Structure 1
Amino acid sequence: MSRTRLKEMMRTRSAKLGHFIVEFATPGIGHLVKAAGCDFVFFDMEHSGFSFETLKSAIRYFEAADVAVIVRVPGQENDMLARACDMGAEGLIAPMISTVAQAQAMVDSVKYHPMGKRGVGLALAHDNYRSAPVADALKAANDRTAVICLIETADGAENVDSIAALPGVDALWVGHFDLSVSLGIPGEFGHPKFKAAMERIIAAAKEHKKSLGRLVPNVQQGTDHYKQGFDFICYSGDVWVLRDALADAMGKLRAECV
């Protein structure tokens, strides 16, 4: 697997298609999503209850299948972000990035000197347990890891241009539900306030040539958002794909087995 796969994806605005993993961290999950045609996964530690021990194993499954991994950690703290980096996460997301100071703190936690302040741990999972000259190892880690700022608050949308302009920020991601709640219009994605916030986010990504991603519940929304400027399209999630496919089959079987 390319050790800079995710960063390479971010150098183009072509569509990168992925899947949200919030329940199933099974040994075959990497090959399952690869067989389905996924370029990346969004591995969620915020709402899943996944531990760092689970993350460490899951990253190996995705690496074996050549699938890039974006990890959302539960909080913005350094120990959350830096530890996920040490496990081998390529892309790092922390919740509720609302200010330039918070974005800078993310960069500091994810990037080694001279780009950040990440504590040095070498010959570990993130560099496949291989030794290298210190300067080379730090540079390789910085080249590999991506800081992805999750914009999901009204303040984040207001400050998004400055966040996107910050050196070390590689991409933006929209948390659409939390953003609507923060704007005072829960779930009202057609509301003018939500649309205006989205326009600011899309404009900031384009202005500063940053990748832009979000979750989508169906194919139509995915294609619509791609046309608006989103290049990381994360389709649905493991629990909902299984539930909906199973419910559809069960409904049809019950209708016929009478």
Structure 2
Amino acid sequence: MSFHLELPGTFAHKLKESSRPLVGMWVSSGSEVCCEIAAGSGFDWVLIDGEHSPYSLETITSLLRAAAAYPATMIVRAPVNDTVLIKQYLDLGVQNLMVPMIDSAEEAEAAVKAMHYPPRGVRGVGSALARSSRWNGVPNYLTNASETLSLCVQIESAAAVDNAAAIAAVDGVDQVFVGPSDLAASMGYIGQQAHPKVTEAVAHVFQAVHDAGKPVGVNAFDLAQARSYLDQGADFAAIGADVQLLATRARALASEFCPPES
């Protein structure tokens, strides 16, 4: 019996088709259970965070498999803009990649090249050995691979804010995601993501990216700030993480039911 394998649509496709901003959350625990719950919770997208979480290549593969049966679009954040690591992530079956700490158009161009096979890019060819093509189960994967991938780059520094227009204009950058925490630190306001200077810089990036015709997103675990950014035109936002939600709720319950002894 023969059958036809087809990969899911990308985050770029989902954004284009949506009539509203897309809201998501992070999975930072490494737990397949948490990832499956997040993917089936009703969020539009879920970020598997390889930058600030203890993830091996095997962990990312397991999390992708845990979420595969659910409707949320899965995005994976690499820890660094590295051609070899990006190749490995793509071969695992990552279709929607987020690359952190992009400060210039040149760095964005390097990420784009890592995403694509020659002649457009420098991605190494190993699809017959990899989950990306479902081990050659996806017809014409090599020639159509670029259509199955979406690249999101992060603006997280004062220098990147200055270069936002040039970064967003790079062909092959599909979305830009603003990280206010690192941006605040870069600007001298560490831990003050809602500082007026920081939110002003975020608004500048929103405008620059939209002027380039690209979608822009933002990280905002403070829900009032998240609503503000969505009102300002964010096309997508991350509003929580599995570990953050568990820690916050657990502490609240403990505070209510286990008060300190007097």
Under a length normalisation based on structure 1, what TM-score does the superposition of the two structures give? 0.90
| 1:144-155 → structure 2 map (5 Å cutoff) | 144-155=148-159
Contact 2:7 2:148 (8 Å CA) reproduced: no
Query: Is the counterpart of residue 165 in structure 1 residue 181 in structure 2?
Result: no
Asked whether the equivalents of residues 113 and 138 of structure 1 are also in contact (C-alpha less than 8 Å), the reply is no
| Correspondence 1:224 to 2:239 | no
Structure 1 SS opposite 2:174: strand
3-state SS of paired residue (2:127) = coil
AA of the residue aligned to 2:26: F
Q: What displacement does 1:132 show?
A: 5.4
- Give how far 1:30 is off: 3.9
Question: Would the aligned equivalents of 1:18 and 1:233 in 2 still touch at CA under 8 Å?
Answer: yes
Q: 2:51 aligns with which of 31, 46, 53?
A: 46
**Pairing partner for 2:26 from 20, 24, 44:** 20
Larger CA deviation: 75-84 vs 184-193: 184-193
Partner of 2:3: none
Give the unaligned 5+ runs of structure 2: 1-5
Q: How many Å separate the matches in 2 of 1:235 and 1:190?
A: 14
Instruction: State the distance in 2 between where 1:246 and 1:195 align.
Output: 30
Name stretches of at least 5 consecutive residues in structure 1 with no aligned partner: none
Tell me, in whole angstroms, the C-alpha distance in 2 between the residues paired with 1:179 and 1:190: 11
Distance 2:194 2:73 in 1: 32
How many percent of aligned residue pairs carry the same amino acid?
Answer: 28
Structure 1 residue 220: Cα displacement: 2.4
**Distance in 1 (alpha carbons) for counterparts of 2:194 and 2:79:** 29
* CA distance in structure 1 between the partners assigned to 2:43 and 2:35 by the alignment: 9
Taking a change above 3 Å as real, the CA distance of residues 36 and 218 of structure 1, as seen in their structure-2 partners, is: farther
Q: For the residues of structure 1 that align with 2:138 and 2:41, how far apart are their CA atoms? A: 36
Is 2:60 the partner of 1:55? yes
The 5 Å alignment of 1:105-144 reads 105-123=110-128, 124-131=130-137, 136-144=140-148
State how many pairs are aligned.
255
Q: Which amino acid in the other structure matches residue 201 of structure 1?
A: V
**8 Å CA contact retained: 1:86, 1:126:** yes
Q: CA deviation at 1:189?
A: 3.5
Deviates more, 1:10-19 or 1:243-252: 10-19
2:160 is aligned, of 152, 156, 159, to: 156
The verdict on how the C-alpha distance between 1:13 and 1:169 changes in structure 2, with shifts beyond 3 A counting, is farther
TM-score normalised per structure 2: 0.88
Query: Using a 3 Å threshold, how does the CA distance of structure 1 residues 239 and 160 change in structure 2: closer, same or farther?
Result: same
